[in-house]
Amino acid sequence: MPRTKSLSVIRAQIRALEKRAKTIESKADKRITELMKLISRHSLSLADWKRAVSLNNGGKRGAAPRKGKPVPVKYADDKGNTWTGRGRLPLWLVAAEKAGRKRDSFLVKSAK
């Protein structure tokens, strides 16, 4: 039988989470106020703000600069199955190797 929490324990957790949420909101409000002061001090426009955000990669941290670029196909078979040579070995290639075929026989001409 699963162990259930009492109503008082759940209410205490709710209070703690609400207190934590207020702390986070107050920190965000302080940062927004500081940001507004910087914007007005340097007479920045909305266009300046958008440009700064876009230069900062949209606010995303650690995004790879090559993300989303296609990788050329390195291996292919007669049935139209392809593989770039990255990541996990595809099942069609695993089956072909178990059947005795060499991986090099699937190399695309431009990849050699």
Helix/strand/coil (H/E/C) assignment for every residue in the chain: CCCCCCHHHHHHHHHHHHHHHHHHHHHHHHHHHHHHHHHHHCCCCHHHHHHHHHHCHHHCCCCCCCCCCCCCCCEECCCCCEECCCCCCCHHHHHHHHCCCCHHHHECHHHC
- Regarding whether 49 and 23 lie in a shared domain, the answer is yes
Tell whether 89 and 52 lie within a shared domain.
Answer: no
Which range among 44-48, 55-59, 71-75, 90-94 shows the weakest confidence by mean pLDDT? 55-59
Specify the pLDDT at position 40.
86
Q: Same domain, yes or no, for 92 and 52?
A: no
- Same domain for 79 and 50: no
Confidence of residue 30 (pLDDT cuts 50, 70, 90): very high
The answer to pTM > 0.85 is no
Query: Domains in the chain: how many in total?
Result: 2
The verdict on residue 35 lying in a domain is yes
Residues 80 and 52 in one domain: no
Q: How confident is the model at residue 69 (pLDDT cuts 50, 70, 90)?
A: confident
Average pLDDT over residues 88-104: 95
Residue 22: give the domain boundaries.
Answer: 7-59
